[in-house]
Structure 1
């Protein structure tokens, strides 16, 4: 029977990020990560499929978002359901003790084109998951797509601010970012070509 290793995923994740930052993602092996964490290679593979999964994980974040959208009050609008989901992510995933990990993770990804591409794909997958969760609530497809896209943008802005320690609670930062995105769209719509065409009619 395999020996239980306390906090193995956290230790491996921390070791991986430290090594990625020190040596570069390409120059770090699974064995390096396991040794830095004081664990074995087999322990690493019990928790992660490969070193890339340390950065991107499984479907935890998508599950939190879709679950929270489904659990939002029945009276909630599409936008309110998305904000409800961002609050849940703040409580469960982007907690204060994860701030340093988030900042290191972002720096590692920014330094590697392959990882930036994977991060973009993950963002698209999260947006798609939110869209589908909204559609399952009965939200019309176009409205669901818009709400999910705005939510994804707000989460990106909030995550950058949260990781840089320019804000406190992630959920609060996400709600503020969501309001800012909506305000920017409203301002552009009221003064842009669409508004001008409407007033000319």
Structure 2
């Protein structure tokens, strides 16, 4: 069962940014080795959230530009299909994500997207409503450092897509351990606070 906690005023979505992690072809197209089988259902909820957060939506993209002399070199050896230029269509936003007309799109060569680009937009201790893919990789790698830095995080469990259902649920359970900095909510709960 997905853990949920009550969303309180500290996580008020009217003051928050919607952060959608990596809505890219490589994670959404079912022909990709990294496609999430949960993407379609998560995307339906992300679209609902994006409508409510109009003007306060940030999309991220993971791009394959990490230094290959680091452990990233071994990573890309293990996943050669992904070792293509950042301009490859695999790394494009999905057409649906591009159509959102988000206020900001951030590219990072790391799983986690918490960093100077994001804080330049949101401030150092923002309220973030987080959705995206993959719950058990880029989402968790963003949420935990953001919370550690003092951000208020509402993680929208049904607007996240894991590599599979089990990994998704395990990642939600881990992030749920970081309450009250990380609160897990459903799309309907977030929209009811807006």
**TM-score using structure 1 length:** 0.30
Q: Which has the larger radius of gyration?
A: 1
TM-score, normalised to structure 2, is 0.31
Greater relative contact order, per chain length (Cα 8 Å cut-off, separation 6+): 2
Higher strand share: 2
